[in-house]
Structure 1
Amino acid sequence: MTEDDGLLSADDGEQPGDEWEELDVSDTEADRIARAQDREFLEFRKRIKNTEQFKVEASVFDDATLGALYKLVQDSYVDAFGGPISTGKEANIYTALAPDGEVAVKVYRINASDFKQMRAYLEGDPRFEGIGSDKKKVVVAWTKKEYANLERARKAGVRVPEPIAVERNVLVMEYLGDDDRRAKRLNEVHIENPETTYEVVREYMRRLYDAGLVHGDLSEFNIVVHEGELCLLDLGQAVTVHHPNSREFLERDCENVAGFFARQGVDVDADDLLAHVTEPEPDPSGNAE
């Protein structure tokens, strides 16, 4: 696969290992702003809560989340907010204007009532040791993990939204779409060449695995087409290859991807896809170890 196939080239040098920096979930400036609630912040909170496009719910925009948004505005990552792109149980995504154009702002719900689905991805990850069941710490760490996963995926040559900034439970990233609407998911478009499309997705999965990551929830619903390229979304739950459930997650990813492309007429088997993703990449020199 080359750049001509719509794939990014991996950075030169060593591939990322499986080591991770410790995720700091202590109080941030956003927390201090929310507690202090200075006059400017109170005006900002009032302005956001009066914005019809946000359709604000208390479970999404609590004071600390508004503090994080306020900090991102102060740091010039965001100039103005737009409408919602998508809503979910754990997070909502909104459009926003930034100095260099449009961005996406993903807001994880601190007060989400059910973290059972998250826990399957958190347990066994050393970055989450000691966090326990503290919802704030879990969500803050999860958000920072998604930022780190996006960075690692891009370094591995996988097309994902570029992460721009992270503050507490708010992630600012590249907006995939145009002036009219978000980028369409793979299940929403007519695929003219499903064989080539499958090869790109398969290569992305292999590059992620070589970089020490398993997506963990990959399907046609979080692969989008943007400016002629395939892009993977939702890497918040991605785990390292040493996670105790990584093999199970990868097998499920392979079943999902193979099942979708089989319905598009591609001769594909989940076991063959799994073998392709996990087999060591051939030595280009042809020398056996």
Structure 2
Amino acid sequence: MVKKEGLLEVEKWLRKEERQLPKGKKRIKDYRDEKTELYVLDVPTLETLYKFSKKGIIKALGGPISSGKEAVIFHGIGAEEEELAIKMYKVSTSNFNVMLEYIIGDPRFEHIKRDRKSIVFTWARKELKNLKRAFDVGVRVPKPIACDKNVLIMEFIGKEGVAAPRLRDVPVEVLELDFDLEELFLRIISSMKIMYERGAMVHADLSEFNILMKGYAEREVAGVNVDKIEIEPVIIDMGQSLLLKHPNADTFFRRDVRNIVTFFNKLGLDCSVEEVMKKMTR
């Protein structure tokens, strides 16, 4: 949940950073500097966040809800008190060579600079465009809101700062309280098919690790009967997603299918890659 340290603190800090110190004086680090080092909230990223706050997109910024090598995701609050997921890509540590592999061949990003910062900024814009493309054709993904430089803002999947669990992290006996496993499998396969046919795109890294199960966090926060809140799979992490025009699109699509089939096979469902591919591409 968002704490009292909102964007007003960001504004104060930026003003502090902009002040010139007398010659020979060194700036003393405080807790804000420590948080910057911990969460990679450098001054350019904070300035981007401040621009979003001035535009009324972000009202308050909370703590991190997810952290990886490429990005940190923070919980936030929007102008209408809606919960936001604020994804900040790490410019200094992102593997821009891997990113470049998924960008080259995408007609939407033909003329980009090859330096690290430009590639990371392009990756953030690419995820926004991919989310919007999937969202517009009816695939359940976080609703995209805005992007600038290395900061992407989208719908928060969860409740009151409690993020929805990944499909990978939900015990099968819990899943089976809400779904027949085949039903859940077919819902995910259906989303992939819609993305492929209507969106003319593939996720390119789909697995049980980047499907969130919306509804479990709401149940945890509300403490209500399981029948009152529906559980639904939400596909996330679409920075690497590709249009079908990309030369590797079909290879990545088959890999996505294999990942999902393998996961459900482990849960006890009898299905095969070839069987699913026939349904997908006919």
Shorter chain as normaliser: what TM range?
Answer: 0.7 to 0.9
Equivalent residues, number: 239
Per the alignment, residue 19 of structure 1 pairs with none
What's the offset of the Cα at 1:57?
Answer: 2.3
Taking the aligned partners of 1:175 and 1:113, their CA distance within structure 2 comes to: 23
Greater per-residue helix proportion: 2
* Amino acid aligned to 1:249: F
| Pair 1:60–1:257, CA change in 2 (3 A) | same
Does the Cα contact within 8 Å between 2:75 and 2:161 map onto a contact in 1? no
Secondary structure at the aligned position of 1:255 is classed as helix
**Is 2:182 the counterpart of 1:195?**
yes
* Amino acid aligned to 1:95: H
Q: Which of 108, 126, 143 matches 1:162?
A: 143
Per the alignment, residue 246 of structure 2 pairs with 243
Per the alignment, residue 214 of structure 2 pairs with 226
| Pair 1:63–1:198, CA change in 2 (3 A) | same
Does the Cα contact within 8 Å between 2:205 and 2:252 map onto a contact in 1? yes
**Is 2:15 the counterpart of 1:42?**
yes
Query: Greater CA deviation, 118-127 or 149-158?
Result: 118-127
* Amino acid aligned to 2:276: L
**Is 2:254 the counterpart of 1:267?**
no
Taking the aligned partners of 2:183 and 2:17, their CA distance within structure 1 comes to: 48
| Pair 1:114–1:254, CA change in 2 (3 A) | same
Per the alignment, residue 91 of structure 1 pairs with 71
Secondary structure at the aligned position of 1:164 is classed as strand
| Pair 1:180–1:87, CA change in 2 (3 A) | closer
Does the Cα contact within 8 Å between 1:223 and 1:231 map onto a contact in 2? yes
1:189-212 deviations in Å (ceiling 9; x for gaps) = 132121100010000000000111
**Is 2:198 the counterpart of 1:217?**
no
1:1-289 aligned at under 5 Å gives the runs: 41-43=14-16, 50-51=31-32, 55-57=35-37, 60-100=40-80, 101-112=82-93, 114-179=95-160, 181-189=162-170, 190-192=174-176, 193-210=180-197, 211-227=199-215, 228-279=231-282
Taking the aligned partners of 2:209 and 2:123, their CA distance within structure 1 comes to: 21
* TM-score with structure 2 setting the length: 0.78
| Pair 1:188–1:278, CA change in 2 (3 A) | same
What's the offset of the Cα at 1:50?
Answer: 3.9
Does the Cα contact within 8 Å between 1:44 and 1:70 map onto a contact in 2? no
Secondary structure at the aligned position of 2:84 is classed as strand
Does the Cα contact within 8 Å between 2:61 and 2:77 map onto a contact in 1? yes
* Amino acid aligned to 2:258: E
Q: Gaps (5+ residues) in structure 1?
A: 1-37, 280-289
Does the Cα contact within 8 Å between 1:41 and 1:70 map onto a contact in 2? no
Does the Cα contact within 8 Å between 1:80 and 1:98 map onto a contact in 2? yes
Taking the aligned partners of 2:243 and 2:78, their CA distance within structure 1 comes to: 32
Taking the aligned partners of 1:250 and 1:85, their CA distance within structure 2 comes to: 29
Aligned-residue CA RMSD in angstroms?
2.4
Does the Cα contact within 8 Å between 1:151 and 1:163 map onto a contact in 2? yes
What's the offset of the Cα at 1:275?
Answer: 2.2
| Pair 1:43–1:80, CA change in 2 (3 A) | farther
Taking the aligned partners of 2:163 and 2:112, their CA distance within structure 1 comes to: 35
* TM-score with structure 1 setting the length: 0.76
What's the offset of the Cα at 1:88?
Answer: 1.1
Taking the aligned partners of 1:74 and 1:213, their CA distance within structure 2 comes to: 34
Secondary structure at the aligned position of 2:37 is classed as coil
* Amino acid aligned to 1:172: I
Secondary structure at the aligned position of 1:56 is classed as helix
What's the offset of the Cα at 1:89?
Answer: 1.2
Taking the aligned partners of 2:268 and 2:39, their CA distance within structure 1 comes to: 43
Taking the aligned partners of 1:106 and 1:45, their CA distance within structure 2 comes to: 25
* Amino acid aligned to 2:175: I
| Pair 1:113–1:200, CA change in 2 (3 A) | closer
